[in-house]
Structure 1
Amino acid sequence: MKTFLAKKEDVQPKWFVVDASGQVLGRLAVRIANVLRGRNKPTYTPHVDTGDFVVVINADKVVLTGKKEEQNEYMFFNGYVGRERYRSLPEMRQKHPEFIIEHAVKGMLPKNRLARKMFTKLKVYAGASHPHEAQNPQPL
């Protein structure tokens, strides 16, 4: 019996939609990362992008447990000495709510070229509408 290895020509990606309102950020990010990688399929192959597209709506309504809402900070560094900036989670939720989910999912993907390609299949929107209705996404 031979081991099955998927080829990129044989992969037919699907589209899924996830409503993030009221869901815990970490648990949601794990599910999204596994679908992006293709870990939920029996044809999963680590060196081939077998994952699906994921559309996340209501990103501004994601929930964090404990004191993380007040304590979480995101650091940005532009390369110059002393130029690191910290943004709190409520500030990021107000200005750029998509970043919260994107940052969590990106941290759960591997750090290589294939994962950067997988990350482009994640589409996050703050509101309840998205422009991907033509792809007929299924609920995850």
Structure 2
Amino acid sequence: MNSLNKTFLPTKNYKNRNWFIIDCKGQKLGRLATIIATLLKGKIKPQYDPSVDTGDYVILINADSIILNESSKHYIVNKPGRPGRSLKIKNVVDCLPKFTIERAVKGMLSETETKRLMRRLRIYNNENHSHQAQAPILIDVSNFADTQQFSI
């Protein structure tokens, strides 16, 4: 009897992915982005391993009613690569909420995982979404303060 090698590591074709739904109404952008990044990476699962992708899908509803810190100014600077072109500066508050949320979540992911994990994020401006067939699990973000206590 060999007592070694009892740690479970998921294989590359691990397909146990859950769908989570989060209501953005009255939520702050930064707190919400950290929870989304954690779910996309799969860090809440007990079998999490950084070398294997075990992340989940996330559906955001009511993205229009997300809370931004409007007292501080946040700008998006687009600098085209051609010389002589002027900078395009846009205030974040004036942008689409989908773009703002995606930008916040992308900043919390590494460069190698960003493209792959952002495909699993679905953002809707109202409560209607087309993912009822996946039976998404509703997450109350106010109780999600400590991800170690959350279990599926």
TM-score (norm 2): 0.80
Q: For residues 14 and 134 of structure 2, what CA distance do their matches in structure 1 show? A: 19
Match of 1:72 in 2: 74
Match of 2:110 in 1: 110
Match of 1:86 in 2: 89
Q: Which runs of 5+ in 2 are unaligned?
A: 140-152
Percent identical pairs in the alignment equals 38
* Alignment counterpart, residue 40 of structure 1, candidates 40, 44, 47: 44
Q: For residues 83 and 6 of structure 1, what CA distance do their matches in structure 2 show? A: 50
Is the CA contact (8 Å cut-off) linking 1:49 and 1:118 kept in structure 2?
A: no
Deviations for 1:39-80, whole angstroms, at most 9, x for unmatched residues?
Answer: 111111112211000000111111124723xx0111223322
More helix by percentage:
1
TM-score (norm 1): 0.86
Is the CA contact (8 Å cut-off) linking 2:63 and 2:125 kept in structure 1?
A: yes
Q: Describe the shift of the 1:6–1:65 C-alpha distance in structure 2 as closer, same or farther (beyond 3 A).
A: same
Q: Larger C-alpha radius of gyration, 1 or 2?
A: 2
Q: For residues 27 and 78 of structure 2, what CA distance do their matches in structure 1 show? A: 26
Match of 1:98 in 2: 98
Q: Describe the shift of the 1:43–1:61 C-alpha distance in structure 2 as closer, same or farther (beyond 3 A).
A: same
Deviations for 1:13-54, whole angstroms, at most 9, x for unmatched residues?
Answer: 110100111001101000000000001111111122110000
Q: For residues 52 and 10 of structure 1, what CA distance do their matches in structure 2 show? A: 11
* Alignment counterpart, residue 10 of structure 1, candidates 14, 17, 32: 14
Q: Which runs of 5+ in 1 are unaligned?
A: none
2:31 is the alignment partner of 1:27: yes
Amino acid of the residue matched to residue 78 of structure 1?
Answer: P
For the aligned residue pairs, the C-alpha RMSD in angstroms reads 1.6
Q: Describe the shift of the 1:90–1:11 C-alpha distance in structure 2 as closer, same or farther (beyond 3 A).
A: same
Match of 1:136 in 2: 135
